[in-house]
Amino acid sequence: MRAGELERVRPGVVRAKPVALELVDRFDRHEERRNRYLDEIGAVAMTRRRPAVFAGRSALAIWGYPVVGGWPASVELLEPPSTARRSKRGVTVHRARVDAEDVVSWGDHFVTTPARTLADLARSGDFAAGVVALDHALSGRSRGAQALAKDDVLSVLDRLGTRRGLARARRVVDFADGRSGSGGESLSRVGIFLMGFEMPELQVRHPHPEGFYDADFEWPRTVARPSTIGEFDGVMKYLKDEYRRGADASQVVVAEKLREDFLREQGNGFVRWGWTEARVPAPALRAKLPRAGIRIVRRPLI
């Protein structure tokens, strides 16, 4: 490999120079960014003289949990309060109590367990980030870690015995729901809650002659309106092979149309949105839901 085909990750560590991000299929860019961040983490691991504990968003990347807002510019480590180590050269050091049961081996180093990783994230104060990651963990969709239960995270919070961020963390755990089918659905649910709308039921099953359809969100029928089904419509299900399950994009579009027609024929209202509307704060979703008959019933938090 020629020198021009390499780039430095950290002093003494190089990697094959990746293609420009704009040349990566836009539906693969999230995974490409995570892989590049994992390279940064690996480079830090290679250059540390003593074992380190990777934590925070670095642990999210290692375990395969989603992140809201993009991967950070630095690698995050966890150190006990008495440490003299400081943040520098692309490494952010967080000082906090570290129990042996909160870390597992990762090569010659360590990483916070899934439960500790999510407990720390929940305490951080970013409600949306905590819910999106914990929904994913509860669902069992992560490729890097086994499914968790809420009690796994609560037990870590109880054991840490600190009041800092505890109320925020408990709100995240209470709100999280493993039935959420994707990060986009989780983020949508956070926006719906923070904007004060009535909360929908999740993954409501509708039998039909060939099986059943699950609705991402459903607001039950009231005197003033029929039941309303809400669908988060990420375009990946139309274009990515892993979501199409052997069908081409046109077949997926037709299947979705038939699905919506069937659900409407049962007397349900229907509203769709995508990533643009789901991002918090979500002014586009705030405008769209009332047109579908969904009411604001609490004081908005955003």
Mean pLDDT split into 10-residue runs, the chain, 302 residues:
64 73 67 91 90 96 94 94 85 92 94 97 94 96 86 95 88 96 94 96 91 92 86 61 53 77 90 89 90 94 88
pLDDT given at position 4: 57
- Burial of 216 (C-beta count, 10 Å sphere; 0-12/13-18/19+): buried
| Measured distance CA(144)–CA(151) in Å, rounded | 20
pLDDT given at position 243: 47
| Measured distance CA(281)–CA(194) in Å, rounded | 9
pLDDT given at position 239: 45
| Measured distance CA(131)–CA(139) in Å, rounded | 12
pLDDT given at position 20: 72
Question: Which residues, in sequence order, are CB contacts of 245 under 8 Å at separation 6+?
Answer: none
Question: Which residues, in sequence order, are CB contacts of 75 under 8 Å at separation 6+?
Answer: 40, 41, 44, 54, 58, 90, 91, 92
Q: What is the reported pTM?
A: 0.88
| Measured distance CA(122)–CA(128) in Å, rounded | 9
